[in-house]
Each structure stands twice: as structure tokens, then as C-alpha cells.
Structure 1
Amino acid sequence: MTTYQFPDGFLWGAAASATQTEGAADVDGKAKNIWDYWFEIEPERFHEGVGPQETSTFYKNFQADIERMKAIHLNSFRPSISWSRLLPDGTNVNQQAVDFYNQMFDELLAHGVEPIVNLYHFDMPMHFQEKGGWESREVVEAFNHYAQTAFDLFGDRVKKWTTFNEPIVPVEMGYLNDFHYPCVVDMKRAVAVAFHSMLASAKAVQSYHQAGLHGEIGIILNLTPSYPRSHSKGDMEAAKIADLFFNRSFLDPSVLGAYPSELVELLRKYELLPTIEAGDLEIIQQHTVDFLGVNYYQPRRVKERETPIQTEAILPENFFEPYIWPERRMNPYRGWEIYEKGLYDIAIHIKENYGNIPWYVAENGMGVENEERFIDDSGMVQDDYRIEFYKEHLKWLHKGMEEGSNCFGYHVWTFMDNWSWLNAYKNRYGLYRVDLRTQKRYVKQSGKWLGQVAQQNGFE
């Protein structure tokens, strides 16, 4: 038996987001975000026509849910704040939202659960989307006001903040594909959205440090290691460009304070560079993050583009195409490859190329459809597949840490089954099962297992 023991103080927890768990989408003064609006106008786009109205009712049930976190020995939790709940008009504070978040943070701390609070998780307020969303400089400034407001209100108790969760996702899904509102496919606009997201993040980091609060601020990036099909020049270049677009375009400015020169030259060559105003690059350079959150689900495997794309519009896919590794294992429900060693490769990459910045696994999880099939006579989901998923990833993470990577925590996605954008409740990820008819929660086998790991700070 090998024992995998983690350092004292290691953070064991789960991640969630406001839109996906709070519910109460139009009560107590909350304004519409892009998801509320999009569901109104195109409900058929959402799995089984289920929108964000109630999601997992965390807004109503947070006290009991936090008790459930404590019951399985979690010592940290990453929620997000809803921008459109806290500042419904973008300027003025909604006191009912302040009361909710105050009570939630106080309850977490009273139960010994450290909050790591995220500011933006894909939920642009609709009135700001109408002004251009992340294409707009005005919205960058509005985000900074929102961040400052949150720091002022909650910074006395919340000691770990993150600016964005997966900023590549609104870019990739909303401006390179037709999967998130506003459903634009335009690389130049996508680049502007990506740049303004990084500028907004740096400004929020600046504001946090200037506020003199005794805590830390980071960013959460979903890193997808780019593996080439072979060591041929074409395949290696394809992997390098995929890495530039999907990883380094956010990782380098956030941690190193500058964009990769190869990325800048590539965008310049195809006339895709964003409008950069005086002082922008200095703000990014001078206000890097204190720590990094990493969401890891799957690798990206690529090869040299063998068939040219028959369009004048430039997209990332112009430079590479997917490669199916013959030995891959799949999660058939999500369509994602399961490759645990990717987490080790990320750990070593951060150590060797990003100053060994403190980091934690901010999300790692396995979505499965129709989990009711696996409910036993006691009512518990027997999700041994999820336990195996966690265990194998933790083994590789442990190896990376033994080799010196500066990781301080492991969070799963997610605490309880929640609503997931266009997929709604199609795939379940939770440590707790949610009965959608009654909203009752039931711990899964994986929740009990992770609770034992957290209690023992390791496993055999």
C-alpha cells in the first residue's frame, strides 16, 4: 500500500458558481445576466428546456449546504459572487445581496470552511452586455468598481479572492463558437474580449493590493496541456500555437505580466491585434496575481493541419487540427479524454516556467449522465468511477508536489449537482446528489470518500 499524504493545512474543497447554484434569479433585487436573458429568448437551446431560474437553490439553502460541507470535512469552498445581484444597475449596492453574501461567508467561517471567492464566472450583467460586454472599455471600468465594492464589503473576512474563472471560456464559447451568448464567431472580436478580460483582471488585482487588505488575489485558468501527435516540426508547431491561444494568452499576462512575443507576432501577422491604449500593458505588467487556480479536466491533442480551412475568416483551428490518441480513455458522457498525468505535467510546468507560484487545483471532476442508474437501496449513488477519477488525479498531483510544485489545495467540481449552462442538468458532477423535484440533497459515495481523504489529509 502506498500512502499519499498531503501537507498540513492543505485545502480540500469544492467549487461552484452563482448562476449555476444560487437560483433566485429574479428575486431580492437581482438584475438579469446574459443567461437569464438568453433563456428568455431561446429556451430551446437549453437541455430539456431548463433555465437558470432555480438551479440548485443555494440562495435559500446555503446554511444547510454549508453544514453538509462540514459533514464531509471540507475545509474550503469556492463560490462566486453574482455581479448582477450585488450591483443590479452596475453602480448601487443591493442590500439584500449584501445580507446574503455576509451570512454565507460568516456561516462558512463559523464551520471552519475557508472561502475562496471568485468575482466573474461567465455571468455578464445583461445591461453591460448591451454596451458591448468585454469588448467595451466602459465594462472594464465597471468591473473594477464591482471588484472594489466586493473588497470593501467582504474583504475583512474573505482572505482569498480570484478575479475570473476560466476567462478563455467566454472567448472560446461566445466569440469563437456559437455556444454561449452573444454567439459571435469573429476572431478579432474574440481577441478584444480576451485582452479586456486580462486588463480587467489586472485592474482588480491593483485595486485589491491598494486596498491594504491582508489577503491574496489570484485568477483561475482552465489549463489544457497541448500534446503534439509526434515530434515532427509541423506537429510541434501546431501544439505550440494551440498552447499560445488557449493557455499562454491568459497564463503569461496573469503570472508573468506580459504576453508571449510569439502570440503577439501571430496576431499582428493576421491583423488581429486588439486596440491597446497608453498604460494598458504597464497595468498588466505591474499587477500580476499572488496565486493561481487551475481547472483541469482534459488535455488537448493536436496535429499539423492537413486540410486547409475553406474560409477567409481566421480562427484558431486554421493553425492545427485535433488528433485522436489511440490509447486514450474517454468519459463518454462528456466526450472528454481522461488523462490524469496531465495534472502532473501542469504542476511541473508551473514550477519550471512560472516562478513556482503558489497554486491550487480549483476544479477537477467527472460529469456523468443518468446517475440515477447507480443509486443503491439506501438511496446513495455508488459512483466508484468518480472516486477512481479523483484518486488517479490526486496520485499524479502528489507526485508533482513531491518534486517541488507549490500546490496548496484540491477542489472538485462540484459540491452538489448543479445547472450547467446549455447542458442544464444533463451531466451530474456533485459530491451530493440533488433531487430536482424536491431539491433534497443526498451524499454520494464519492462525497463520503473525499470526506475521508480530507479528514485524513491523504489516502492509501
Structure 2
Amino acid sequence: MEVNYQFPQGFWWGSATSATQIEGAANEDGKAKNIWDHWYEQEPHRFFDNVGPSKTSDFYHTYKDDIQLMKEIGHNTFRISLSWSRLMPQGELNQQAVTFYNSVIDELIANDIEPFVNLFHFDMPFDLQKQGGWESREVVDKYVDYAATCFRLFGDRVTKWFTFNEPIVPVEGGYLYDFHYPNIVDAKKAVQVAYHTMIAHAKAVQAFRQFDFTQSKIGIILNLTPSYPRSNNPADLRASRIADLFFNRSFLDPAVLGEYPEELIAILKEHGQLPSTFEGDKELLKRNTIDLLGVNYYQPRRVKAKEHLPNPYAPFMPDWFFDNYEMPGRKMNKYRGWEIYEKGIYDILINLKENYGNIASFISENGMGVQDEERFIENGEIQDDYRIEFIRDHLKWVHQAIQEDCNVKGYHLWAFMDNWSWMNAYKNRYGFYSVNLKTMKRTPKKSAHWIKSVAEHNGF
């Protein structure tokens, strides 16, 4: 096979998932409730087709077979998350969970797949949410205990650690836009939650560095969404800069540079939205920057200057400073309502090179969710050419970034197999493998064979 796009030796080919979205076994072996289990009990109608997180894709029971399938399609890396409420229900170590995660990690390694381990993926233990969740400084300290416990238990084999996945999402969903529990609309609390998340992150990095892990790296996974202005008009440029401050730089700057952007602080101060801080926080952030950045990219953000002044009686929102802009003629994933803009992935990597010290990074999620994929079955296999095209066209831009010396080390698809997606449940399918929800049977899609060839040739 002729390879036009060759990737560097040792490039990470794989996929990503999270505990709540694939494990299932939500009430088994001592796992306590997390906020998703609780919210589903309270309001099942808010989840697509009333499907909750209790069984999902049943990875808890099928992980050995699933890891074989990963190996079959050429994965050399795979990102999981650990469930805090499974590992430390009510703050005590659950030995059955330790056994499970040890087995998963060992099974991956035995199959030459390096485990990337993330500590928190939207799944706050419910008992800690009742204590305030990320609004609470005490919960921050409990998270740091949990993180240190994970490093101690699994750090002898795991060399890639991540403190959080998309930490802005619980802020947006839980405290601004009502699509995650606790469904609060309060910007001041949102800012406090975002700030405490970064303090928790920095303290976990600090705890990590107290271990003698010479070969290991710790990082964070951020959904970086470039903010493109409608035009070069100064008002549009300002709108896009402020959107970038709120949605990207609020986590990217403290994680990589160890400090918050001055302009963001000024805006929050002007509107009375600054978080409460502790003495020593600034130094903590400055001293505990990351080694490795995971980049999740699905779609761009296009913005323009406000059409109308914000309602002075409405809650403070980031949207006071910009309107979303629907660019005429944009390419769409019509199933998800998201724009497809492949060059965005390149723009992110160039930004990291130029403004963030060319930090070591990898594409930790990218993918295409499609509804009713059964429509595309031929000879028993989903012909997901649209997914192959989506991945290939994004990889071309990753390849271009590598040619320009961006320090990007891998590509993980969301997801290895179809999984439960929060309020969307199983509405949109993302996997290389389809999952039959009645039988739990895994079936490769056309994209599974394609990615196998890409991994084998380290290019396409």
C-alpha cells in the first residue's frame, strides 16, 4: 500500500472512553451512586429514550473481549477513566474496584496497548455533590486523596495520567446551561467551580510529583474549540477573543502556563464574578503545570458581535459578549447539528506551538456521532464511509501540523465502540464497533477495518 500521509514512529493510535459511559454495572460490587445515577432516578425523561447509565455497554463484564478487539484493529494506546464512586464509595477504598481496574490495566498491557488513565470524567460521586461538589474546597481535598490513591495503586504500570477530561463541560452543563446535574444557573458558582477544578488539578499534579515516577507524565484533557470571528471587524474580533477566554483559555492558560489571562480576570472583576481564593493558590498553579495535553476537537465555534445588549435583569453569562454565528455554506454533520471544520484541529496545534511552548500534545478525542446507523448496513456491516472521511480529513491536518513541527504525538477516536452519551444516551453512535443494546454483541463497522490498516502502516 502506498502511504501518502506517514506519521512519526511510535505515533499513538487508539480511542477513548469514560467509566460512566461504558462500564455499566452501576449498582454492582460496591459502586456508590454518582450524579448521573441520581439524576436519572429523578428525571429519566430528560435522557434520550429514557435510557440511563445502569448497564450502558457493559465493559465491566466484557473488557477482556473488548481489549482483544482493540488489539485486532491496531490500537497501541487506549484511554479509560476511573470511576471515583466505584473506587472510593463513601471515601473508603473498594477492593473489588481495585481488582477490576488492575485487571483492565494488566489486560491492556498484556495486549501491547498502553493504558492512558483519566481520573475524572463528569462523574462526581453523589454523596460529594451533596456536600457542594466542586463548589466546595473540602471536595477538592477529597479529590486529591482519590488521585493520590490512584497513583499509588496503578502508577507502577500507568505512565500517562490525566486529572480531568473537558473540565469546562461540568461548568457549562451544571452551572450555566442546564444540561448536567445539579442544573444550577449561576455564573458566580460556575466560576467558583471552574476555579476549584483547576486548584484540584494543580494539587493532584503536586501529589503526582511526590512519587518517584521518572518515566511518567501527567496532564489534562481539554476540549479546545477555536473561536472564529465572523469578520475582521474589531467588534467581531473582540467577540471571538472573549469567547476564547471563557471557553478555552480559562483552563488552557492555568494548566500550561500556570496563570489566568489578565483580560479574563478583568472581565470577571468588572461584573462581580471573581471566585474566592486561598493564599498560596497562585504559586500552586504556577508550580504545577502539565507535561502532556490531551486535545478534544469536534467542531469550531463561530462568533460575532452581539446583535442586542444583554438583558440587565437576566443572569450573567459568557454570552453577554458574543453571539453564535451560523456561517452560510458551512459543512454540517446533520445528525449532531455540528459543523465539520477539519482545519480547526490544525489551528489548535499551531496555537499550542506558538503560544504554549509547543507542549507535548495528542488528539485525545475527535469523532462523528450519527443516528440510526443501521440504515447503512450492507452484508451485515455498517458502511460508515462518512466516519472514515471525517477521520481521514482531520488526520491530514494533524499531519500538516506535524510537518510544521507541532509536538503532537497521537490520535484517539471517540470512541472504540458505541457508548452511552449522557443526556443523549445512545441517540448518536460514535464507535469503530457497533453495540447491539439487546444482545451487547460488538460488530466492526467499515471504519474498524480502515483504522486497522492506518495503524499497521502508521499512515494512509
Q: Would you say the 8 A contact 2:162–2:219 is kept in 1? A: yes
State yes or no: 1:180 paired with 2:175.
no
State yes or no: 1:89 paired with 2:90.
yes
2:205: which partner in 1?
A: 205
Tell me by how many angstroms 1:150 deviates. Answer: 0.3
Tell me by how many angstroms 1:451 deviates. Answer: 1.0
Deviations 1:141-195 (A, max 9, x none): 0000000000000000000000000000000111111110000111110000000
State yes or no: 1:72 paired with 2:73.
yes
SS in 1 for 2:117: strand
The one-letter code sitting in structure 1 at the alignment partner of 2:357 is G
**Greater alpha carbon shift after TM alignment, 273-282 vs 310-319:** 310-319
1:330: which partner in 2?
A: 332
Mapped to 2, the partners of 1:2 and 1:150 lie a distance apart of 41
Which aligned pairs between 1:422-441 and structure 2 lie closer than 5 A?
422-441=423-442
1:297: which partner in 2?
A: 298
2:385: which partner in 1?
A: 384
The one-letter code sitting in structure 2 at the alignment partner of 1:340 is E
SS in 2 for 1:128: helix
Tell me by how many angstroms 1:327 deviates. Answer: 2.8
1:9: which partner in 2?
A: 10
SS in 1 for 2:26: coil
2:400: which partner in 1?
A: 399
Count of equivalent residues: 457
1:59: which partner in 2?
A: 60
State yes or no: 1:410 paired with 2:411.
yes
Which aligned pairs between 1:219-230 and structure 2 lie closer than 5 A?
219-230=220-231
Which aligned pairs between 1:111-130 and structure 2 lie closer than 5 A?
111-130=111-130
Mapped to 2, the partners of 1:427 and 1:79 lie a distance apart of 20
Mapped to 2, the partners of 1:75 and 1:51 lie a distance apart of 31
Mapped to 1, the partners of 2:3 and 2:319 lie a distance apart of 43
Mapped to 2, the partners of 1:250 and 1:300 lie a distance apart of 17
Mapped to 1, the partners of 2:378 and 2:58 lie a distance apart of 25
1:372 to 374, 387, 390: 374
1:340: which partner in 2?
A: 342
Which aligned pairs between 1:3-42 and structure 2 lie closer than 5 A?
3-42=4-43
Mapped to 1, the partners of 2:306 and 2:210 lie a distance apart of 47
2:191: which partner in 1?
A: 191
Tell me by how many angstroms 1:290 deviates. Answer: 0.5
Deviations 1:211-263 (A, max 9, x none): 12230100000000000001111000000000000000000000000000000
Mapped to 2, the partners of 1:178 and 1:164 lie a distance apart of 20
The one-letter code sitting in structure 2 at the alignment partner of 1:393 is H
SS in 1 for 2:311: coil
1:145: which partner in 2?
A: 145
Give the fraction of aligned pairs with identical amino acids, expressed as a percent. 61
Tell me by how many angstroms 1:2 deviates. Answer: 6.8
1:236: which partner in 2?
A: 237
Tell me by how many angstroms 1:309 deviates. Answer: 2.5
Tell me by how many angstroms 1:34 deviates. Answer: 0.1
Q: CA RMSD in A?
A: 0.8
2:352: which partner in 1?
A: 350
1:361: which partner in 2?
A: 363
SS in 1 for 2:420: coil
The one-letter code sitting in structure 2 at the alignment partner of 1:137 is R
Which aligned pairs between 1:280-295 and structure 2 lie closer than 5 A?
280-295=281-296
2:108: which partner in 1?
A: 108
Mapped to 2, the partners of 1:204 and 1:327 lie a distance apart of 44
The one-letter code sitting in structure 2 at the alignment partner of 1:329 is K
Deviations 1:85-136 (A, max 9, x none): 000012x210000000000000000000001100000000000000000000
Mapped to 1, the partners of 2:425 and 2:326 lie a distance apart of 28
The one-letter code sitting in structure 2 at the alignment partner of 1:147 is A
Mapped to 2, the partners of 1:363 and 1:147 lie a distance apart of 22
User: What are the ranges of 5 or more consecutive residues in structure 2 without an aligned counterpart?
Assistant: none
SS in 1 for 2:220: strand
Mapped to 2, the partners of 1:189 and 1:412 lie a distance apart of 33
Tell me by how many angstroms 1:314 deviates. Answer: 1.1
State yes or no: 1:453 paired with 2:454.
yes
Mapped to 2, the partners of 1:311 and 1:33 lie a distance apart of 36
Which aligned pairs between 1:128-139 and structure 2 lie closer than 5 A?
128-139=128-139
Tell me by how many angstroms 1:322 deviates. Answer: 0.6
2:269: which partner in 1?
A: 268
Tell me by how many angstroms 1:311 deviates. Answer: 4.0
Structure 1 runs, 4 residues or longer, greater than 4 Å off = none
Mapped to 1, the partners of 2:395 and 2:56 lie a distance apart of 29
Mapped to 1, the partners of 2:448 and 2:132 lie a distance apart of 41
1:258: which partner in 2?
A: 259
Mapped to 2, the partners of 1:284 and 1:432 lie a distance apart of 40
SS in 1 for 2:382: coil
Deviations 1:313-368 (A, max 9, x none): 21011110011111311111111000000001011000000000000000000000
SS in 2 for 1:411: strand
1:319: which partner in 2?
A: 321
State yes or no: 1:165 paired with 2:165.
yes
Alignment TM-score, normalising by the size of structure 2: 0.99
The one-letter code sitting in structure 2 at the alignment partner of 1:324 is E
